[in-house]
């Protein structure tokens, strides 16, 4: 009588197989994790670069659509006072009327746009916000200019605009920044011809506006906004028509 041979695996062979499968599965999971992390970093960098491009494009299109209008400033007793070109130009604030909206592009009503630099989240760095309000005519500018003061550097009247507060509908144009500064190009008589001014008080429209942005955490792999210079083209100045 012959014994039939019995086939099977021993406990040692089973442990070796389980160990090999565990190592293989761990390697696959680690490779997938590394790939997903790389994909997330690439996606975040892509979003950040798109935001940088969006800052430049938004400012270019809104300045390209600048509408030269006049506004009535308040007098000493709150009564209507003198007239001024509706343009606020300060190192960390800018305000004007444009036909380009961040929400509706070139469609719809013109907008009063307000650029302001405010503290960042948890007071870390700063952020650049934009407010938009529908412009329906000179009456919608009432209360924007609070009066005049004398510019000591130029000896000229300087309009005083109301502060630009953050609103629930404020659009965060750029965040996590170390600093933002606006400067304005003024046409000068010879021999200077032109000069960059930190505060705009000239009786005209600026020739160009430069926005200097310093990122909070500079990353060589990101497209960081540094300096944007945009010309302001006002072919006709209807200010006198609005002032009459």
Has residue 4 been placed in a domain? no
Beta-carbon count within 10 A of 102 CB = 15
Distances (CA, A) of 135 to 75, 159, 168, 189, 239: 23, 20, 19, 35, 16
Has residue 169 been placed in a domain? yes
Q: Could you give the number of structural domains in the chain?
A: 1
Contact indicator for 176, 215 with CB cutoff of 8 Å: yes
Has residue 12 been placed in a domain? no
Q: Which domain holds residue 220?
A: 36-243
Choose between 92 and 218: higher pLDDT.
Answer: 92
Write down the residue that tokens 């009535």 correspond to.
72
**pTM of the predicted model as reported, rounded to 2 decimal places:** 0.73
Choose between 243 and 27: higher pLDDT.
Answer: 27
Has residue 20 been placed in a domain? no
Q: State yes or no: pLDDT of 22 exceeds 60.
A: yes
Q: State yes or no: pLDDT of 180 exceeds 60.
A: yes
Q: State yes or no: pLDDT of 41 exceeds 70.
A: no
Choose between 59 and 45: higher pLDDT.
Answer: 59
Contact indicator for 208, 229 with CB cutoff of 8 Å: yes
Has residue 226 been placed in a domain? yes
Has residue 23 been placed in a domain? no
> N- to C-terminal Cα distance for the chain?
125
Provide mean pLDDT across the span 218-240.
68
Separation CA 137–CA 46 (nearest Å): 40
Joined together, the tokens standing for residue 146 give: 């609070």
pLDDT band at residue 170, thresholds of 50, 70 and 90? very high
The pLDDT value given to residue 244:
40
């Amino acid at each position: 009588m012959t014994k039939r041979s019995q086939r099977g695996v021993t406990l040692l062979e089973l442990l070796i197989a389980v160990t090999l499968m565990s190592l293989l599965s761990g390697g696959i999971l680690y490779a997938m994790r590394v790939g997903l992390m790389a994909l997330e970093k690439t996606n975040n960098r892509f979003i950040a670069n798109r935001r940088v491009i969006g800052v430049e494009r938004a400012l270019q299109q809104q300045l390209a659509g600048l509408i030269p209008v006049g506004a009535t400033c308040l007098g000493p007793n709150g009564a209507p006072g003198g007239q001024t070109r509706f343009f606020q130009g300060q190192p960390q604030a800018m305000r004007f009327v444009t036909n380009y909206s961040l929400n509706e592009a070139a469609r719809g009503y013109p907008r009063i746009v307000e650029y302001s630099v405010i503290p960042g989240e948890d007071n870390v760095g700063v952020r650049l916000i934009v407010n938009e309000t529908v412009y329906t005519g000179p009456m919608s500018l009432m209360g924007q200019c609070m009066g005049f003061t004398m510019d000591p550097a130029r000896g000229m009247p300087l309009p005083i605009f109301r502060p630009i507060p953050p609103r629930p509908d404020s659009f965060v144009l750029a965040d996590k920044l170390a600093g933002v500064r606006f400067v304005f190009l003024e046409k000068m008589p010879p021999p200077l011809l032109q000069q960059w001014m930190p505060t705009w008080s000239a009786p005209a429209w600026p020739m160009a506006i430069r926005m200097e942005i310093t990122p909070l955490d500079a990353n060589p792999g990101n497209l960081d906004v540094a300096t944007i210079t945009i010309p302001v083209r006002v072919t006709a100045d209807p200010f006198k028509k609005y002032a009459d």
